[in-house]
Structure 1
């Protein structure tokens, strides 16, 4: 990878991948809608760091090992699906409560909530083996097997910047409408829809197979 055209192409592909509806998007939207802009931005940052991790893993061959190993792929898949089920179940339970609030945020100060949102975004991305497959297929097209640490870092930073820019935009747009989402009926709808979406995505992940 040496030309600006290749850099731009890589960044564009990663950005399109980030914009595709998935668990990352669901987590950022829910956090932004129900917990506020700060928590949504924290979840967005966690997701972007997860993408950074996968690019580094793909460039260094770690992700390829995961993709090639049936056992490793299955372990990450099962853990990731279970985590999405957990998030979805929490959202559905929250939807059934009066007011539809998010218990984690109500139980502690904003700092703890923002930290938990970051971890949510990070784990949702890192525990998705489909992300490994995506970057294993993408990264070798832009760096050779003997790529320097500098080239790997450039790709990783580009992926981080593009992903965080998109999800920060989502978090800020949704967070701006928080007064609407603050209504109990709307909060319950958001919790119900995102909870069902996360569980559905968890089922889809659990059924995923290596190509």
Structure 2
């Protein structure tokens, strides 16, 4: 078992890392806007699952291979960049259609379902190799020398819980402001801004080096 102080410190670092602006933040925010609180929470759960998978991959040495291989890193990076641009373009298309309704009364065809939001969260996180680089640098700082598989699993659970905690909070906050987002002009503006941010993030990810 990890010392309580180590576990608490790791949790704090994970939450602070999750709070930093990035693709995950934008995906959860837009999921909450287009599908309500449930969709936002589902997207956060997908991102948390992605973090858990990355920690397991690090434990198995897969992430180390990814970060060491320029080709593998580039392939995953470009796939992730393409996915972010795809989500951004979808937001722009929503602006062009201009079909904005009350979040609680959205037509089934235009409301983001939790299952779709969950998949977006998973793909956004797993297709971002920078997450692997970040966790690969972070985990050794909290894992004792010769750490056991159980201790690695503990860190994976803590990382997952911390990530989920933050994004559930974010989804709830956005959901609480539901009345504000009912205004079609506000929704149109937010979709335009968030779509642009997603596309910009995708281009930024594509241009970055390991």
CA positional deviation for 1:181: 1.1
Q: Secondary structure at the match of 1:75?
A: helix
| Cα distance between partner residues in 2 of 1:93 and 1:22 | 22
Whether the aligned pair in 1 keeps the contact of 2:95 and 2:191 (CA below 8 Å) is: yes
My pick for the range that moved more, 179-188 or 155-164, is: 179-188
| Cα distance between partner residues in 2 of 1:80 and 1:144 | 32
Scaled by the length of structure 2, what TM-score is found? 0.92
Q: Secondary structure at the match of 2:8?
A: helix
In structure 1, the residue matched to 2:38 is: 38
In structure 1, the residue matched to 2:91 is: 91
In structure 1, the residue matched to 2:207 is: 207
CA positional deviation for 1:146: 4.6
Q: What is the correspondence of 1:153-168 to structure 2 with a 5 Å cutoff? A: 153-168=153-168
Structure 1 portions without partners, runs of 5+? none
| Cα distance between partner residues in 2 of 1:144 and 1:69 | 27
Whether the aligned pair in 1 keeps the contact of 2:2 and 2:154 (CA below 8 Å) is: no
**Cα RMSD for the two superposed structures:** 2.0
Q: What is the correspondence of 1:48-197 to structure 2 with a 5 Å cutoff? A: 48-100=48-100, 106-107=108-109, 113-143=113-143, 146-197=146-197
Aligned residues: 207
> CA distance change for structure 1 residues 163 and 184 in 2, over 3 Å: closer, same or farther?
same
Scaled by the length of structure 1, what TM-score is found? 0.91
